[in-house]
Copies of this chain bind each other. A is one copy, B any other.
Amino acid sequence: MSITAGIVGASGYGGTELIRLLAGHAQIDLHTIAAHSQAGKPVAALFPNLVDSGTFDAVEPEKLASLDVVFLATPHGPALELGALLYDAGTKVIDLSAAFRLSADDFLQWYKQPHPRSDLAAGDSNANNDVVYGLPELHREAIAHAKLVASPGCYPTATLLGLSPLTGLIQPNTIIVDAKSGTSGAGREPNDGQHFAHVDGNFTAYGAPSHRHTGEIERWLGADVGPISFTPHLLPISRGILVTAYATLRDGVTQADVTDALTDTYRDEPFVHLLAAGTFPHTKAVAGTNACHLSALVDPRTNRVVVTSAIDNLGKGAAGQALQSANIMCGLEETLGLTTIGLYP
């Protein structure tokens, strides 16, 4: 008896990656692939890899509410509305946007609009118990009982997996996150900045110092570490994020302490792989997967730790992690439909 699922915003990169993953999932049946702007068009006209996926559906809230689980892969605007509607209807929701990740106050600060439902804002003290920030490695238990999962952003996922186990070892106000992402993180909408001839052979920073993921990282790392510097950059690759994070260590903290903290946290995690200190993760090694490759290196000369963390921004950074949460919420094997072996070379 399989689980029925739907995707809204299926014509974006997060949505199409969910179509790809669910096509190989043994226990979830994809009933609806809704895309407001593309309804009626063949999926393969936009995504030539998905040749047997039929046409995009219209967004029909009542039909969606009748499914077991709905993935929202829209921008946060539509997600705020549809997520609330489905949650109130009792449908399990996994939202890939920022709509439900922060507190209402933080949402106002970083997204410049009031949050309509602080009870559904996972980062808010008023949030319902079944509204959860969906980073399974840190919040697995809560996800298992969640009705609404706010699936983390791509940069926060890579950053939090790297830094969360180390917050007790580092000095406040010293975290710097230098992040690099492939272009699919910017979405499917064509624009000058994503045009091949501009990105190819090019590299640039953007969005600093007020990129919205800054607030999400700070919220979920915890208040004790202080404000962080966060600078995203655009890589000339389609998929992949590498985060290089720096922090000054508390007195006496050694490489062994850092390694132990990470090992203890991730020993049994199926999707997190620790590399030996001094080796560094490759984005391509996790292309197409739900894996995160992590490395942490202590430099005694500067008393800093350098954490490097690689994910596929569409995998562990979006669709993969959303599916991982769906598996947990639905009582399925957590790894179903997900891989850890990247398409390399």
Contact = CB atoms under 8 A, between A and B. Distances in A.
A246 interface: yes
A50 interface: yes
A213 to B, nearest CB: 14
A301 interface: yes
A331 interface: no
Interface stretch (A72-80, A94-102, A228-236, A322-330): A228-236
Interface residues of A, number: 79
Interface in A81-121: none
A341 interface: yes
How many protomers of this protein does the assembly include? 4
B196 A195 contact: yes
B237 A201 contact: yes
A301 B176 CA distance: 13
A205 interface: yes
Given A183-B197, A200-B201, A51 B283 contact: no
A49 B341 contact: yes
A154 to B, nearest CB: 14
Contacts of A339: 24
Given A203-B240, A204-B283, A299-B208, A191 B192 contact: no
5 contacts: A51-B285, A51-B340, A190-B190, A196-B200, A203-B282
A190 B188 contact: no
Q: With a 10 A CB-CB cut-off, give which of A48, A237, A310 has the most chain B CB atoms.
A: A48
A202 B236 contact: no
